Amino acid sequence: MNITVTKESLADFDCEVLLVGHFEGNKAPEGAARFLDEQCNGIIGELIDGGDFEGKLYTSSVVYTRGSIPGKRILIAGLGAKEEFDLEKLRGVFSKAAQKIRGLNITQMAVSLDFGETKFAIGDMARAAAEGALLGLYRFTPYKTLEEDKKGEITECIIVEDRPEHLEEIKKNAQTAQIISRAVYCARDLVSTPPNDMTPSILADRANAIAKEAHLTFEALNEAAMEKLGMNALLGVARGSAEEARLITLQYNGGGKGTPPVVLVGKGITFDSGGISIKPSEKMDEMKSDMAGGAAVIATIKAAADLKLPLNVVAIVPATENLPGGRAYKPGDILKTMSGLTVEIKNTDAEGRLILADALTFAGRYNPAAIIDMATLTGACVVALGDNLAGMMGTDEDLKKRLSAASDATGEMIWELPLWHEYNELIKSDVADIKNVGTRAGGTITAALFLKRFAGDCPWVHLDIAGPALLSTDRPYIPKGASGIGVRLLAQFLMDRG
Ligand code: BES
Ligand code: ZN
Ligand code: ZN
């Protein structure tokens, strides 16, 4: 769906449907709803007076204008109580309204952002509304062959605005929303693609195509190149698979030459069976999402380029399958990482930290200003924080604060867990420098402590997205399935930094 902005009065705009909002508890319509009510002989007021529409959050009603204005229908969307209204709710409202309009088989929607008086800046509302509508309309259809499963896309959303002082802000923010939502779609598509069509080399090819389009530098190391670098942890995980591993690197140079980049590292396990320490078969299919961190960093660097942010960014994705083949790595094996540290394998299902270990060491080569890694790393994080929150652990207070601010702004929720150094005891090995699992309890923290050994001295934050990467139920503007988590968070972080 394309978002455009037009300077026109709602009274003159010809369209199938006009979307306006109404706060619960308001006795009379406000803002655009009031204006349209006046133009259309009180049809909205009548609906409210009659008790047919209360403005409850995510509800909506359709009324026909019957020729009183060129717009054929008005969709009045409930904004909930004004005291509780915020940008996160606005995203949900626009998502639900857009889904409803799609359900009416209408291919174009016109919207007003004049909700009457609110405490939010018009630009912020434009961005939240546009992102909500776009993100809520996402569907993954490449594998659907039946026409009825694919039909009915809204192709255009027009923001109708006649207050000249707001036009520029709305245009700028609608454009940002479009770019960021495209990046989220890109991450969701990568994660949704079934693992037979999302092998490490295919992921590298897709990253290459994205790089070409966004004018990024692309590089993918094959196993021979990784061997030269001594990436035996990554290669160890890859040994059970017939598919060759890749180390994908994308680079965006929007900042000054020589300015240290922000390096984003994303876990790229294209399928995690657990390896020799095999997982139960129930829900194993969900482990196609074990490259969601990798997808998020690829999509984020694309967004940074499309937004032309004035900074340097590197995205690194170690990509491999984790399978139990005849040559697979085994519990008891000891692997020598690129950093030189040796790791005793206690469980081949704790593979994410192994591939990230070598990727973090590799990241050090870019002289990073900061490293942020994102990974579907531990089931323990889902136990601790549930399906909606990402866990955050890291070594730098300022970096964590900035990520928390980006989290508040985008609604991609993160929660800090402590990197409690005493738990390093739990990953001490009798035979190697460290082992790849601690106890079941505190598993998210020991995984992060493991990664910390490879992050060097540079400010570093680890985000565990095991919970929110793949949703089993719809959220207001995130349809169930691949969520694209992390893209809006990291893009916002980079925008605020740039
Ligand atoms: N990819 C999984 C973690 C995961 C679990 C992601 C659930 C999304 C949803 C990871 O590689 C894994 O298997 N971790 C193990 C670690 C354990 C063996 C120490 C886990 O969490 O059980
Ligand atoms: Zn695993
Ligand atoms: Zn995994």
3-state secondary structure 257-308: CCCCCEEEEECEEEEECCCCCCCCCCCHHHHHHHHHHHHHHHHHHHHHHHCC
Pocket lining: 113 vs ligand 1, CB cutoff 6 Å: no
Q: Which of 191, 285, 322, 349 to mutate to test the pocket of ligand 1 (most atoms within 8 A of CB)?
A: 349
Q: What is the pLDDT of residues 49-77, one digit of tens each?
A: 999 999 999 999 999 999 999 999 999 99
Please state the atom number of ligand 1 nearest to the C-alpha of residue 381: 21
Residue 153 — φ and ψ, nearest 5°? -105, 140
Q: For residue 244, give the DSSP letter.
A: P
223 pLDDT more than 90: yes
Task: Give the helix ranges, DSSP H, for 364-396.
Answer: 379-385
Cα 291 to ligand 1 centroid, rounded to whole Å: 12
498 pLDDT more than 80: no
Write the residue with the smallest CA distance to atom 8 of ligand 1.
466
Write the residue with the smallest CA distance to atom 22 of ligand 1.
379
Banded pLDDT at 362 (limits 50, 70, 90): very high
Pocket lining: 466 vs ligand 1, CB cutoff 6 Å: yes
Pocket lining: 443 vs ligand 1, CB cutoff 6 Å: yes
433 pLDDT more than 90: yes
Cα 227 to ligand 2 centroid, rounded to whole Å: 22
Q: What is the pTM of this model?
A: 0.98
Banded pLDDT at 150 (limits 50, 70, 90): confident
Cα 377 to ligand 1 centroid, rounded to whole Å: 6
**pLDDT (0 to 100) of residue 327:** 98
Pocket lining: 464 vs ligand 1, CB cutoff 6 Å: no
What would the mean pLDDT of 459-474 be, rounded to a whole number?
98
Tell me the pLDDT of the chain averaged across its residues.
98
Q: Which of 378, 434, 462, 483 to mutate to test the pocket of ligand 1 (most atoms within 8 A of CB)?
A: 378
Residues with Cβ < 8 Å from 378, sequence gap 6 or more? 443, 444, 447, 464, 466
Q: Are 320 and 237 in contact (CB under 8 A)?
A: yes
Residues with CB under 5 A from ligand 2 (ion): 272, 349, 351
Q: What is the pLDDT of residues 90-99, one digit of tens each?
A: 999 999 999 9
What would the mean pLDDT of 446-459 be, rounded to a whole number?
97
Active-site residue 475, yes or no?
A: no
Please state the atom number of ligand 1 nearest to the C-alpha of residue 446: 19
* Tokens matching residue 392: 């955050």
Rounded to whole angstroms, the Cα distance separating 425 from 382 reads 23
Active-site residue (options: 172, 279, 346, 497): 279
Please state the atom number of ligand 1 nearest to the C-alpha of residue 437: 19
**pLDDT (0 to 100) of residue 242:** 98
Q: Are 137 and 1 in contact (CB under 8 A)?
A: yes
**pLDDT (0 to 100) of residue 156:** 98
Q: Are 21 and 93 in contact (CB under 8 A)?
A: yes
**pLDDT (0 to 100) of residue 151:** 82
Banded pLDDT at 147 (limits 50, 70, 90): confident
Q: For residue 428, give the DSSP letter.
A: B
Active-site residue 127, yes or no?
A: no
Ligand nearest to the CA of 390: 1
Write the residue with the smallest CA distance to atom 13 of ligand 1.
349
Please state the atom number of ligand 1 nearest to the C-alpha of residue 469: 8
What would the mean pLDDT of 186-205 be, rounded to a whole number?
98
Q: What is the pLDDT of residues 261-317, one digit of tens each?
A: 999 999 999 999 999 999 999 999 999 999 999 999 999 999 999 999 999 999 999
Q: What is the pLDDT of residues 392-422, one digit of tens each?
A: 999 999 999 999 999 999 999 999 999 999 9
**pLDDT (0 to 100) of residue 149:** 84
Active-site residue (options: 73, 246, 302, 353): 353
Cα 288 to ligand 1 centroid, rounded to whole Å: 12
Burial of 324 by CB count in 10 Å (0-12 exposed, 13-18 middle, 19+ buried)? middle
Q: What is the 3-state secondary structure (H, E, C) of 55-117?
A: CCCCCEEEEECCCCCCCCEEEEEEEEEHHHCCHHHHHHHHHHHHHHHHHCCCCEEEECCCCCC
* Tokens matching residue 352: 């994410």
What would the mean pLDDT of 470-486 be, rounded to a whole number?
98
Residues with CB under 5 A from ligand 3 (ion): 269, 272, 290, 352
Rounded to whole angstroms, the Cα distance separating 394 from 417 reads 9
Burial of 497 by CB count in 10 Å (0-12 exposed, 13-18 middle, 19+ buried)? middle
